Amino acid sequence: MTAPRTDPSKKTPKARSRTISWRARLALVLFMAVAAVTVWTTNRALTHRFTESTRNRAELRLALYSGNLLSELRQHAIVPQLLARDQTLISALQSSDFSLSTQRLISFVDEIGAASIMLLAQDGRTVAATDRNRLGESHRNAAYFVDAVRAKSTVFSVIPREVGGYRFTYSRRIVDATGVLGAIVVEVDLQKFERAWAGISDAVLVTDSTGNIILATEARWRGLKEAEALTLQTPEGAIQRAIRATTDWTALPPDAYLQGEAVMRLETRVPFQGWRMATFTTYSSVRERVNAVLALEIMGFAILLALAFYFLSRKTALRMALFQRESAELRVLNARLQREIAERERMQKTLAVAEQSLAQSSKLAALGEMSAAVSHELNQPLAAMKTYLAGARLLLNRNRPDEALASFGRIDDLIERMGAITRQLKSYARKGGDAFSPVNLGDALASSLSMMEPQLRQRHVKITRILPEEPVMVMGDRMRLEQVMVNLLRNALDATKSVDDPEVEILLAAGETATLSVRDNGMGIKDFDNLFEPFYTTKQPGDGVGLGLAISSGIVNDLGGRLTARNGQNGGAVFEMQLPVLVDGIEAAE
C-alpha cells in the first residue's frame, strides 16, 4: 500500500512559526550588521569632515586676526605724518608756548583711537601729552626719539615695558625752515587684541622678525622664543581643552604637541616688518560633534528596530482596521456623491432663471452708469458756464462789454465741449472711436486748466507746473484727453479741501513714454483695489458718483496707455497718465 504524499506548500502552523522565527533572526542579524557598518562609516566620515571644518575655521580666524592687526598698524602709521604738519603744534614748538598743546592732543586721541600721544621738544623733553603725568619726562635717549630725529620718515619702534610686555610706537620729527623742532610720538594699543584673543579657545602669539614673541594670549610667553614658551608652562585657560581632552584619535595627524598632547597649529605671515602669527586650536569640539551625531544615529536604529517589531506584531490587526476604515470611507463618499448629484440637478433647474435675471440686471446697470456718466461729465462745464455768466453780467453792469464778450466766448467753448462730451459718451457706449490725430499734451493741459480756472480761483489753490521746453506729442483724441486731465485736476482739488495750504503739482515729461503726473498734498489713497471701479467714491453724497476715474481709465486704455495711482513719499496722492510718445509721426511702443 502506497503512503499518501504531503504537499510541501501546506505546512503545519508550528512549521510556519519556526520558518518565520528563523527569518526574523536572520533579518535582525543583518540589521545589526548594517547598523554597525553605518556607525563606523559615519564616525570616520564625520571625523574627517569636522576636523577639516575646525581647521578651516581656525584658518579663517587666523586670517581675520592678522588682517585686523595689520589694519590697526597701517591706520596709525599715517597719524604722525599728519600731526607733524599741524601748524598749531609747529607754532607751539617755535614759540615754546605749550599751554594749549596738551588739550589739542587729547582732542585727537579719542578720534584716532591711539593709546597715547606725546609731543617732544628738541631736547627730548615731553612738552605736551595726552597722559598729563608724563609731562616733563626726558626721552632724549629713547629709540623712538633718536631714530625719528635722524630719519626723514615715520619710525616704528617696539619698546619693552618694565612691568612686562611691549609698547608699540610711531614717531616722526617735526621740522621747519630752521631745522628740527621736536618729534611727535603716537603709541598704538595692540594689547586690546591680546584681550580679545584671550576670550576664545585658541592660543595666539605674534613674533617679530627675530622670532621673539611680542604679543600673546599668555602673558609669560612675551619676550621668549616659541619653543621656549611652549615648554615653559601648561597654557591653562586659552588651550586648556587641548591638553585635557585631546587624544590621537583624530583622522588627521596633529600639527603640534603641548605637554605631550596633540593640538592643531596654524601659522601665517603678517606683512609688516617680518612679523608672524601662530594659533593653537583644540580638537575637543570635533569629538563632541561626532559623538552627538553618532548618538542620534544609534538612537534612530534603536527606534527603527522597535518599530519593526511593533509593526510585525500589529500587521494583521492594522490590515483589518484599514479594510474597515476604507469601507466606511467608501460609504461616506457614496452618500456625498449622491448629495452632490441632487444639488447639481437643483442648480441646473435654477440656471435658466438666473441667466434671465442677470441679463436684465446688466441692462439696468448699463443704463444707470450711462446716465450717471452724463451727469458727472456735464456738471463741470455747467458750473464753469454759471461762473462766466455771473462775471459777464457784472462786467455789463460796469459798462465793460469787451471783457464780457470774452466771457461769452468762453461760454461758447464750454457749450462746444459739452457737445463733444455727449458725442464721446455715445462713442464710448458703442465701443467705437473717432479718428485719432497728433495732440500736444501741453496745449491740452493748458485748455484743461483754463476750464478749471473758476474753481481754482475760488479755492486759492497753488498750482505748480513743470513742463518740458519741447512739445510732447501723442496720437489720440484731444477732447477725451482733456476730459481725463479735468477729472484728475478735479480729484486733486477735492482731495485738498481739508488742507490749510492746498497745493497741486503737475509734471509733464517725455521719455520712452509721455507721462503726466498730478500730485496733491491731501490725505492720500487708502483703498487701491476699488479705486478705478465704477461708482466707487470717497466723497460726500452729492459731491460725486464715482465715475470720473473709471471713465478716465477707460479713455487712457483706449489710447494705448495706462492710468496708475500711488501715494507720494511726502504725503498726498499721485496719479500718472502714460501714453506712447509720437516721434516724427511714428507712435513709440509702450
Q: Are 121 and 182 in contact (CB under 8 A)?
A: yes
Record the pTM: 0.43
CA distance 279 to 501: 69
| Cβ-Cβ contacts under 8 Å for 460 (sequence gap 6 or more) | 502
- Residue 535 Rama label (left phi>0; alpha psi -120 to 50; beta): left
Establish how many alpha carbons lie within 13 A of residue 463's alpha carbon, considering only the half-sphere containing its beta carbon.
Answer: 19
Q: Are 465 and 529 in contact (CB under 8 A)?
A: no
CA distance 211 to 191: 19
Helix, strand or coil, per DSSP, at residue 524: coil
Residue of 226, 217, 298, 322 lying closest to 267 (CA atoms)? 226
Residue written as grid cell 534612530: 300
pLDDT in tens, the chain (590 residues): 444 444 544 555 445 555 656 776 787 788 888 888 888 888 778 777 777 787 888 888 888 988 988 888 888 888 898 888 888 888 888 888 888 888 888 888 878 888 889 999 988 899 999 888 888 888 888 888 988 889 888 899 888 887 778 889 999 999 988 888 899 999 898 888 888 887 775 788 898 988 888 888 888 888 888 888 877 655 444 455 444 444 444 444 555 554 445 677 888 899 888 899 988 877 666 777 777 777 888 888 888 878 877 776 776 667 677 778 888 888 888 888 888 888 888 887 776 566 555 434 544 443 454 455 556 667 777 888 888 888 888 888 888 888 888 878 888 888 877 776 665 455 444 444 457 889 999 888 888 887 777 677 677 788 888 898 889 899 888 888 888 888 888 888 888 888 888 888 999 998 888 999 999 988 888 877 777 766 656 666 555 555 677 778 888 888 889 989 888 888 888 999 999 988 765 555 44
Counting other chains too, the contacts that 452-459 makes at CB distance below 8 Å and 24 or more residues apart are 452/380, 452/384, 452/486, 452/489, 452/490, 452/493, 453/384, 454/383, 454/384, 454/387, 454/388, 455/383, 455/384, 455/490, 455/493, 456/493, 459/493, 459/496, 459/502
| Cβ-Cβ contacts under 8 Å for 196 (sequence gap 6 or more) | none
Cβ count within 10 A of residue 296: 9
User: Beta partners for 215?
Assistant: 206
For 106, the enclosing helix (H) or strand (E) is helix 101-112
Helix, strand or coil, per DSSP, at residue 204: strand
Helix, strand or coil, per DSSP, at residue 544: coil
Cβ count within 10 A of residue 407: 20
CA distance 5 to 7: 7
Helix, strand or coil, per DSSP, at residue 339: helix
User: Beta partners for 160?
Assistant: 166
Maximum distance among all Cα pairs of the chain, rounded to whole angstroms: 152
Q: Are 513 and 590 in contact (CB under 8 A)?
A: yes
Q: Are 577 and 515 in contact (CB under 8 A)?
A: yes
Helix, strand or coil, per DSSP, at residue 155: strand
Return the amino acid letter for 154: T
Q: Are 251 and 51 in contact (CB under 8 A)?
A: yes
CA distance 16 to 35: 28
